[in-house]
Each structure stands twice: as C-alpha cells, then as structure tokens.
C-alpha cells in the first residue's frame, strides 16, 4: 500500500516528492509493458484481452489533462529534471531512461536500449542514437550555463549500436561564437568505451529573452 503524505502536516515539497515517486513507479511499469508488448508471441485472443484491460486502465487516468505548452509542476525546466522526457524521463514509457552525470568538461549518460528501440534486428534505431545525443548535447549547453536550441546535428554512424547493452553517452561544449554553442558527443558501449559507435557535432543557439518567452510561455508561470 502506498500512503500519500497529503494532509495538514504535509509540506508542498513532500507532496511534490510523493507525486514524483508515483509518476516514476508508473513509468517503470509502463516501460515493462512496452517491452513485453514488442517481444510477446501471445495468441490473438490474449492480445485482444490485454488490449481491453489496457483500455480500462487508461480510463482510470482521469482529471485535468496538461495543455500542450504547459510545464509540469514536477519539472525543473530549463535547467533540471524533465520527468516525462522521452530520453531521460523516469515517468516516460518511451525513455530508456538515460541517467546523466556531470563530468569535468561536460556530461556522461548511461542507459540500455531495449527491443522497443530496435532498428535493424538486435541493434538500436539510428533515430534513437540521434535523440540520445541531441538530448545530452543540449543538456551539456545548459550545464555550461548556456541553454540552447538545436540548430544542426551532424551524425556519423561508425558501428551498429547493440540492444540490451549498457551504453555510455558523452557530450561537451567545444566552443562558442556569440549566441552559437558548439558541442560534440559520442556513444560507446560501457565494455569498450574507447570505441565510438556513433559520434556527432552540433550547433545550438541560445535564444534571446523575447524569443524564449515566445517559445516557452509556461516559463513566465513556472
């Protein structure tokens, strides 16, 4: 049983942490469901029965729905946790999710891609590699004190990225030019970190205040 800390004695921070924990738990279970869905060889009858059950469960997620540009109260945008991020979000059924750690000159991420992220049989989809690097490289900009938006991302695929293998993602800012931020990134396996599977160079741009407010109106209320 999961007891909510809500009540007169609960602080706003306690309630927020309880909400994050619940979202994280649901995300974990949904990732297990997604992985089971893409691996199963169950009969059509079983699949129809499960589909009916999933529809029933979805119907339990009642209440107000978040608007398109609304920043969730559990997020720390732009410099912190995005709990529903499809790359790092613990609450996302789509995310691996990537665990991010600061380094001396940038960031490192660690994750394992599953069958749900498959491109060629046994290997990750090339678009997943691009998404992983875009996320980490963007976060490297923020970690360096220069939040930016992706302008270009040049990908180089050296070797296939294996599934069900712990991956290391590196990202670091290599230079700046006014509002332009230059970033490099790479993906390797943890067992062979010196052999890059995918590398990328990106250009990000830090938007001016007027542009940032236009793009992210929720920032004014966050």
- Residue pLDDT, tens place only, 39-77: 999 999 999 999 999 999 999 999 889 888 888 989 887
Residue 217 clears pLDDT 90, i.e. is over it: no
Q: Which of 25, 150, 149 is nearest to 92 (CA)?
A: 25
- Render pLDDT for 109-156 as a digit per residue (tens, 0 to 9): 999 999 999 999 999 999 999 999 999 999 999 999 999 999 999 999
In whole angstroms, give the CA distance from residue 34 to residue 108: 26
Supply the DSSP symbol for 159. Answer: S
Measured between alpha carbons, how far is 219 from 66 in angstroms, rounded to an integer? 15
pLDDT of the residue at 71 = 87
Angstrom distance (rounded) from CA 171 to CA 184: 6
CB-CB contact of 152 with 187 (8 Å): no
Instruction: Please determine, for residue 7, whether its predicted confidence score (pLDDT) is greater than 60.
Output: no
Closest CA to 36 of 24, 20, 54, 23: 54
- For the stretch 162-213, pLDDT in tens is 999 999 999 999 999 999 999 999 999 999 999 999 999 999 999 887 777 7
Report whether pLDDT(5) > 80.
no
Chain centroid to CA 18:
21
User: Which structure tokens are listed for 3?
Assistant: 């007891």
Structure tokens at 1: 């049983």
Neighbours of 216 (CB within 10 A): 15
Which of 201, 152, 198, 194 has the alpha carbon at shortest distance from 173? 201
The one-character DSSP state at 61 is: -
Residue 99: pLDDT band (50, 70, 90) is very high
For the chain, how far is it from start to end, CA to CA, in angstroms? 32
Q: Are 86 and 134 in contact (CB under 8 A)?
A: no
Cis-peptide into 97, omega within 30 deg: yes
Structure tokens at 147: 């939040």
pLDDT of residue 8: 54
**CB-CB contact of 79 with 146 (8 Å):** no
Average pLDDT score over residue span 10-34? 94
Task: State the Cα–Cα distance between residues 66 and 64, nearest whole angstrom.
Answer: 7
pLDDT value at 220 more than 70 = no
Nearest-angstrom CA–CA distance, 180 and 201: 13
């Amino acid at each position: 049983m999961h007891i909510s800390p809500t009540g007169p004695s609960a602080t706003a921070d306690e309630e927020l942490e309880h909400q994050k924990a619940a979202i994280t738990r649901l995300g974990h279970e949904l990732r297990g469901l997604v992985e089971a869905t893409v691996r199963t060889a169950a009969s059509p009858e079983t699949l129809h029965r499960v589909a009916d059950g999933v529809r029933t469960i979805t119907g339990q997620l009642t209440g107000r729905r978040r608007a398109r540009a609304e920043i969730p109260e559990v997020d720390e945008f732009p410099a912190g946790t995005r709990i529903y991020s499809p790359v790092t979000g613990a609450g996302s059924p789509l995310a691996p999710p990537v665990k991010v750690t600061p380094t001396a000159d940038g960031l490192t991420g660690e994750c394992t891609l599953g069958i749900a992220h498959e491109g060629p049989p046994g290997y990750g989809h090339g678009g997943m590699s691009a998404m992983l690097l875009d996320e980490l490289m963007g976060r490297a900009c923020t970690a360096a004190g220069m939040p930016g938006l992706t302008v270009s991302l040049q990908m180089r695929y050296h070797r296939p990225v294996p599934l069900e293998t712990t991956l290391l993602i590196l990202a670091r800012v290599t230079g700046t030019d006014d509002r332009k931020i230059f970033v490099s990134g790479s993906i390797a396996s943890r067992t062979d970190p010196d052999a890059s599977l995918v590398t990328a160079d990106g250009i990000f741009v830090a938007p001016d205040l007027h542009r940032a407010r236009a793009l992210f109106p929720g920032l004014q209320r966050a």
